[in-house]
Amino acid sequence: MKRLFYSTNDLDDAELISDEVHKQGVDDQHFFVLSRDDKGILSHHLHGGNGFENTSLLATGKRAGVFAFCVLVLAAVIGFAVMDITAQNLLWLALVCGVAFTAAKMLASVVCASFDSYFKDIFNRHLDNGEVIVIIDVTPDQSLKVTSQLKQHSAVSFIAESSNIVSPIPS
C-alpha cells in the first residue's frame, strides 16, 4: 500500500475529501487527519488527532529494524552459500552476521531519524499555519483514482508519498 500526504485549508475541506475517498473504497482505517483542532476533528466526524508525537504514521525507525533484519538474512544466505559448514566457520558467520545487522541497524536508524525529522518539520509547518494534513493509505488500484480525484480540488495540495509498511493508521 501507498501512503499519500496532502494538506488542505481547513477541516471542512478534509471532511469533503473524506467523503470523496470513502466513495473510492477507502475506509476509516486507511484515512487519518492531523489538525491542531481536536474538537473540530470530532465535530466533523473525522478519524484523526493533533500531531505525530502520539502516532506511528511515519515509523521509519521500525523500518530500520526490518532493513537490518533483511541484511542479516542476506549475510547468512551468502555465508552458507560460500562457506564449508564447520563449527569454526559457523562462529565466524555468526560474528559477520551480527556485525552486518548492527551496522545496518545503526545506518538505517540515522537515515530514518533524519527522514522523520524532515517530514515532521514539514507537517508541523502546515499545522502551525492552520492547515490540515490528510493521510490516506491506498491500494495500487485505488491510488490512481484517489490522486486523480484530489487533483481536482484547488484547496488540496500534495505533500508526499511513502510506503505504509510497519506503520498502520492509528485506531
pLDDT per residue over 46-65, tens digit each? 877 765 555 555 566 677 77
User: What is the pLDDT at residue 11?
Assistant: 92
User: What is the pLDDT at residue 61?
Assistant: 67
What distance in Å separates the CA atoms of residue 5 and residue 158, rounded to the nearest whole number? 6
User: What is the pLDDT at residue 129?
Assistant: 92
User: What is the pLDDT at residue 87?
Assistant: 76
Is the full-model pTM beyond 0.75? no
Q: Which residues of the chain have pLDDT under 50?
A: 171
Closest CA to 25 of 144, 119, 128, 117: 144
Counted residue by residue, the chain has a size of 171
Please, are residues 151 and 25 in contact by the beta-carbon 8 Å criterion? no
Quick count: other Cβ atoms within 10 Å of Cβ 127? 19
Tell whether the torsion through CA atoms of 165, 166, 167 and 170 is positive or negative.
positive
Quote the DSSP letter at residue 36.
Answer: S
- For 147, half-sphere exposure in the C-beta direction (CA atoms, 13 angstrom radius) is 16
Q: Where are the domains of the chain?
A: 2-163
User: What is the pLDDT at residue 13?
Assistant: 92
Say how many Å lie between the first and final Cα of the chain, rounded. 17
